[in-house]
Amino acid sequence: MLFDPRPKVNKKDLYDFEKEFEFLKKNIGEPLLVVSGLRRTGKTSLILSTLNDSDIPYVFFDMRSMPNSRRDLYHLLSEGLTDFLTRISNKEKFYKSLTKMLKLIRGISVDGFEVSLSWGKDRASLVEILRALDESCAEHGIKAVIVFDELQRVTGKLSVELANAIAYSYDHLRNLSFIVSGSEMGVLYRFFDEPNAPLYGRAYLEVKTRRLDKEKSIDFLKRGFEESKIRVNDEELEAAVDKLDGIIGWLTYYGYSRTMQNRDFESIWREAVTMARQELENFLKNRVSAERYRAVLKFLANGEREWKELKKKMEDLEGRVLSERVLYDILITLRKYSIIDDQNNFLDPLAEEAAKNL
123-135 burial, b for 16+ CB within 10 Å, e for fewer? bbebbbbbbbbbe
Taking every pair of C-alpha atoms in the chain, what is the biggest distance, in angstroms?
70
Q: What is the pLDDT of residue 254?
A: 98
pLDDT by residue (tens digit) across 181-229? 999 999 999 999 999 999 999 999 999 999 999 999 999 999 999 999 9
To the nearest whole percent, how much of the chain has pLDDT over 70?
100
Q: What pTM value is reported for the model?
A: 0.95
**Binning pLDDT at 50, 70 and 90, where does residue 67 land?**
confident
d(CA 125, CA 19): 37
Nearest in space to 33 (alpha carbons), one of 161, 205, 192, 268: 205
17-208 and 275-358 have identical folds:
no
Q: Does domain 275-358 have CATH number 1.10.287?
A: no
Q: Which fold has domain 17-208?
A: Rossmann fold (3.40.50)
Q: Where are the domains of the chain?
A: 17-208, 275-358
If you average pLDDT over residues 52-81, what whole number do you get? Answer: 94
Does residue 66 carry a pLDDT above 90? Answer: no
Does residue 26 carry a pLDDT above 90? Answer: yes
Q: What is the pLDDT of residue 158?
A: 94
From 14-23, 40-49, 67-76, 292-301, the region with the lowest mean pLDDT: 67-76
If you average pLDDT over residues 247-258, what whole number do you get? Answer: 98
Average pLDDT value over all residues in the chain: 96
Q: What is the pLDDT of residue 65?
A: 87
pLDDT by residue (tens digit) across 278-327? 999 999 998 999 999 999 999 999 999 999 999 999 999 999 999 999 99
d(CA 269, CA 352): 13
Work out the burial of residue 12: count CB atoms within 10 Å of its CB; fewer than 13 is exposed, 13-18 middle, 19 or more buried.
exposed
